[in-house]
Structure 1
């Protein structure tokens, strides 16, 4: 396991193997790879949630319209934070839809319809994103990256709550 230097990154200007947050490039690269996987999944998840928000109809329109909006707002915040964390680790976040589609395990939902199928798809998408976040949590813990770990745990906690609430809605 790669460990961080006990010397702050600012004091190691001549050491090109240590990045700006004091991690080795090898450790940071491993974390960045897992973050990019989570980023790709979040991007497709986000777009699915936008579609559900726009296209939901039925007796529960108001509550689901609002819930899907809250979920895509949370996803949007996570996307931005993940991309910025990748940059903090001296990596490059995936940034094209082609890259997202190629790297995501969440599948784009075409022509969503029906309240229950949308909720079920939101649950399944959330579970995939949660699995990607757990991979980030595992990798960042292994690499000693507390900042990434803390961030990912917060996003995972929110997704776990959303999964519980959506399952409760389905009954």
Structure 2
């Protein structure tokens, strides 16, 4: 057992998954910063604000995931080269139209939701309530975001 009473092997596997999740959050964070900075067109004002809200939320999640990795006894990755290597979400550059930005965000949420559901099941099996709670909150929030963003581009 580790210091918080979880099986060390199970905690180690969760750390690996959470570190991959961290990489995805970091790349998405930077993509959304780019959306915010570079958005153009008739929806500029509303999307500029929306993307700022989104990247602020993502930055909080980056910190929470990294701290959860530390709580489980791991060390979070902290280089962009590692993030780029380990992220299923790819960098988006040169994007400035609203539909492309929102579609990129929706695609990224799909990636995150899939990862988080798998990690949630893994954490539940390990009796890791802290990780379960964290991921459950993320999933609920992101599912609502997907609904609203999908309605926006419909």
TM-score range, shorter chain: over 0.9
Q: SS where residue 21 of structure 1 aligns?
A: coil
Aligned twin of 1:53: 36
Residues 113-139 of structure 1: CA deviation (Å, up to 9, x unaligned)? 211111111110111111121121111
Q: Tell me the residue number matched to 2:110.
A: 127
Structure 1 spans left out of the alignment, 5+ residues: 1-17
1:152 match: 135
Long gaps (5+) in structure 2? none
Cα RMSD after superposing both structures:
0.9
Task: Point out the structure with max Rg over C-alpha.
Answer: 1
Q: TM-score, normalised by structure 2?
A: 0.97
Aligned residues: 154
Looking at structure 1, the residues matched to 95 and 14 of structure 2 have their Cα atoms a distance apart, in angstroms, of 34
Q: Which residue number in structure 1 is paired with residue 94 of structure 2?
A: 111
In 2, Cα distance between equivalents of 1:135 and 1:36: 14
Superposed structure 1 runs of 4+ greater than 3 Å apart: none
State how 1:1-171 maps to structure 2 within 5 Å. Answer: 18-171=1-154
Using the size of structure 1 for normalisation, the TM-score is 0.87
